[in-house]
């Protein structure tokens, strides 16, 4: 595992990627899921990318090496990988869009299971200090903290999907 400093430049070295691929094979074997050529290449594609591709992009990338791959397999594999917690989904991507009429700066507690979202306030979190490297990427206009966890209902096992 690398330290924060070493990872800063977003460059992924071969060792790191090979380690990820090993944990992928282990993870799949452990739950008795077959390690197919397609799945391996889909995961490799993702492990190699430091940006955050959507299924279509993963599909196009993998197709260069596995021309017969189908988009559905990409979708299915990505979903399995999320279920196995080998990758994550970017942002709180719930089924439907949800809106926030609260314009003043605030932060969110989000339940990772049902999506329940509640506001909280802490002015010190509205403008957190961001590493200098990020300033090369663009202009930061503010920061938002997301506290992730499980809501009381879901802790009790009563929560439904995407509430």
Q: In this structure, is the dihedral angle defined by the CA atoms of residues 77, 78, 81 and 83, taken in order, positive or negative?
A: negative
Residue from 81, 66, 74, 67 nearest 20 by CA: 81
Site string for DNA, 29-48 (x = CB under 7 A): x---xxxxxxx---------
User: Under the criterion CB under 8 A, does residue 70 sit at the interface with its own copies?
Assistant: no
104 binds, among DNA, its own copies, none (CB under 5 to 8 A by kind): its own copies
* CA gap 144, 105 in Å, rounded: 8
Q: Dmax of the chain from CA atoms?
A: 52
Residue of the chain from 40, 53, 63, 73 that contacts its own copies (CB under 8 A):
53
Rounded to the nearest 10°, the torsion over CA 71, 76, 79, 84 is: -130
User: Under the criterion CB under 8 A, does residue 62 sit at the interface with its own copies?
Assistant: no
Interacting positions 22-41 with its own copies (CB under 8 A):
none
Interface ranges with DNA (CB under 7 A):
29, 33-39, 54-56, 66, 68-73, 75-77, 79, 95-97
């Amino acid at each position: 595992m690398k330290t924060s400093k070493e990872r800063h430049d977003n460059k992924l070295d071969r060792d790191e990627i090979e380690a990820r691929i090993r944990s992928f094979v282990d993870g799949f074997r452990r739950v008795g899921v077959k390690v197919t050529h397609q799945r391996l290449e889909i995961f490799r594609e993702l492990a190699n990318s430091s940006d955050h591709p959507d299924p279509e992009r993963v599909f196009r990338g993998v197709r260069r090496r596995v021309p017969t791959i189908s988009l559905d397999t990409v979708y299915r594999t990505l979903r399995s990988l999320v279920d196995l917690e080998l990758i994550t989904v970017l942002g709180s991507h719930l089924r439907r869009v949800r809106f926030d009429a609260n314009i003043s700066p605030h932060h969110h507690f989000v339940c990772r299971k049902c999506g329940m979202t509640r506001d909280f306030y802490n002015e010190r979190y509205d403008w957190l200090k961001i590493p200098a490297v990020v300033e090369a990427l663009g202009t930061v206009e503010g920061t938002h903290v997301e506290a992730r966890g499980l809501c009381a209902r879901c802790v009790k096992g009563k929560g439904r999907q995407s509430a």
